[in-house]
Amino acid sequence: MKFAKKYFLLLALVSFAGIQSCSEDRLDVEPVNEFLSSNFFQTEDQVFSGLIAAYDPLGWSMAYGNWISFVMFGEIRSDNANAGGDPSNNDQPGWQEFDDFTNTNTNTVLQPMYRRNYIGIFRANTVLAQSQVESPVVDRYKAEAKFLRAYYHFELLRHFGPIPVVTELLAPDDVNLERNSISEVFEAITADLQDAADELPVSVSSSEVGRATKGAALAMLGKAYLYWADMLNDDAAKFDLAADAFQQVVNLGVYELEDDMQSLYNFNARNTGESVFEIQHNSLWSSDWGWFEGIDGNGIVQLCGIRGLCEDHPTYSAGWGFMMVTQELYDHFLPDDHYRRDVAIATEEQLAFAIDTAGGSCAVTIDRTQSNPIDYTGYWQQKYANYKAHQGTNVNGGNPDLTKSANTHPIRYADVLLMLAEAQIRGNGSEGMAMMHINEVRERAAGPGDNTGSFKTAQTIMAEQGWSALDMIWYERRAELALEGDRWYDLVRSGRANAEIFPAGDLRRANFSTEDLWLPISLDETSVAPMLTTMPDASLFR
């Protein structure tokens, strides 16, 4: 390192000497670029351009040559899904390591996951620090930037534990940061979200879908307080703060559950009345394998599609077989919950029936020899279905496997209702009100139409199963949000992530340790930031 510094200094001195020997007229040239950092962010349009750049990392499903997805991680790391992939059991080794709890700080996915979020934070900070115009429009842009900064910090926290909080632009010499405590991280997140909620509009126009709203900021605020309360030994006061934020979302009156849950996941279903915050993916960018940073299509559609599927299936194309659903998740659904199960999980029998009904002819419905034999279960996710219709949506010549446009749902209204019920139960709220919110979700889960009086209420289920209200919450969250990415994070925050969630004989049961609650920060990062510890110290959880 000393040699490198000396060499750089020598090079700088030589360059400076060369510049001094040039005549002044040769140096007096117009800048090549139209805008420099010193003269940008001086108009509303320029600030908006910076804001769009801050939104951009949200949609990256691949970055720096690796697939990155909180949906995949939240399911594969948990008891809901296995990594899957091809027969080698080494397809996408970084994800196989996440699945088996064998990852180290050299896992190839860690750096892209970490870097993507800090790139988002940097871009949000740039908008906040560099904007040189004042107007109501720019005030909204800054509120959106605060929402994004909070979102990126929250995603880092959910994966890596307490991480460095960055709320200002840093110089290159400032990269050697240490971790903040978990309370310091949450304080920064909740402050940004409260500021954002105070300024953001309740709704947006059709041309603005995907941008942050007051409801999105309040829902994220409630979620942050919920996690904070859980991680601070069930802090009732913070559960109450979470409940208050979620209740404000409900009181806005702009969200509703879709009558048919399947309509949330149909081809081209986007930004429904249930969408509180939805990450936009599109097929308009000509993404290909050479686009090293930021594939904007939803990569998990192809990656987690059904491997070895017969070409005669009328609706689905074959995929690459990742996020293979476990038997345990399929068995989680109670007998009266088959509609919600069938929306989330495809079986070989269902796939064969669809082919037969369409008049197709297949020697086998699924060629199992194409799949990972260790992870194969005969169940596949279908909330991010690999619809054949996706193949015709790319208009700019990109790779069709990378440009599928199904949106990702970080928060939808059913999630808000369940988090509100949880916060009420675990704080000082009314259990009766909590049951009302749960039953609203359960009525929809029974299938399309008015199921009032014909579905089992939460109270009935609790009596039949001998469950507490909190048991009911855990059942509902796993069933309602199955294969949407929340499972692992719910387990970690609530102290339920342990070896016993995996069945006997499962490799994960043998490999799991408490250190696996958090991902290590990659060697690439800690090698340039010695103050940044690979794993969070217990003292930070205060």
Domain-wise residue ranges, the chain: 46-254+484-540
What is the CB neighbour count within 10 angstroms for residue 435?
A: 20
Q: Give the span between the Cα atoms of 47 and 61, in whole angstroms.
A: 25
Alpha helix segments (H runs only) across 264-383:
300-303, 327-332, 338-344, 348-357
SS3 of 232, please? coil
Q: What are phi and psi of 82, to 5 degrees?
A: -110, 165
Contact call for residues 375 and 385 (beta carbons, < 8 A): no
Q: How far apart are the first and last CA of the chain?
A: 36
Pick the CATH number of 46-254+484-540 from 1.10.3720.10, 1.25.40.390, 1.10.10.10, 2.30.30.90: 1.25.40.390
Contact call for residues 401 and 391 (beta carbons, < 8 A): no
Cα→Cα distances 530→106, 155, 180, 226, 336, Å: 16, 23, 15, 32, 54
Closest by Cα among 436, 423, 415 to 470: 423
Q: Give the H/E segment covering residue 478.
A: helix 469-480
Give 2's contacts (C-beta < 8 A, 6+ positions apart): none
pLDDT tens-digit series, residues 17-53: 343 434 444 445 455 556 666 678 999 999 999 999 9
The pLDDT assigned to 260 comes to 98
Q: Give the span between the Cα atoms of 256 and 250, in whole angstroms.
A: 9
The pLDDT assigned to 293 comes to 65
Cα angle for residues 411, 332, 87 (degrees, 5° grid): 90
Q: Give the span between the Cα atoms of 58 and 272, in whole angstroms.
A: 19
Q: Give the span between the Cα atoms of 542 and 531, in whole angstroms.
A: 19
Beta partners for 473?
none
Contact call for residues 73 and 96 (beta carbons, < 8 A): no
Amino acid, res. 81:
A
19, with CB counted inside 10 A (0-12, 13-18, 19+), is exposed
> pTM for the full model?
0.92
Task: Please name the residue that has the structure tokens 């994220």.
Answer: 220
Beta strands in 248-403 (DSSP E): 275-279, 293-295, 322-325, 345-347, 379-381
Name residues of the chain where pLDDT drops below 50.
Answer: 1-27, 29
Beta partners for 84?
322
Closest by Cα among 272, 277, 283, 280 to 387: 283
SS3 of 408, please? strand
CA count, 13 A, side-chain hemisphere, 114? 24
Cα→Cα distances 284→322, 392, 405, 476, Å: 25, 11, 9, 36
Cα→Cα distances 135→140, 141, 264, Å: 9, 10, 37
